Amino acid sequence: MGEALACNSIGVACQLIGSPSKLSEAAHYHTQHLAVADVPGKFIAHCNLGLCMQSLGRLPEAQTALLSKDAEKARKEAEERAAEEAREQA
């Protein structure tokens, strides 16, 4: 979990700077995050990577990151996990 959190945090920090070189660096960290994350983290990584690609003007890659079967699977699993946790807390 520590590596996933670090990759996400560094990626977001680079993304916020917004220069093309930092956006490319952010994409690298979001891709690393995707590789090591748990299910909710994979959903976040797909979203961040898609937004990063969009900012770089790489729209096909943004669509792939945001709308791929893997992204949809991660979204559904994250929703299911959140619903299950909410039921357990109720």
pLDDT in tens, 3-20: 999 999 999 999 999 999
pTM of the prediction?
0.84
The residue count for the chain: 90
Q: What are the tokens at 67?
A: 């709308």
Check residue 75 and give its pLDDT: 87
Check residue 1 and give its pLDDT: 72
- The predicted-structure confidence for 30-89, as pLDDT tens digits, reads as follows 999 999 999 889 999 999 999 999 999 999 999 999 998 888 888 898 899 889 999 999
Q: What are the tokens at 36?
A: 């090591």
Do 33 and 8 form a contact (C-beta atoms < 8 A)? yes
Neighbours of 60 (CB within 10 A): 8
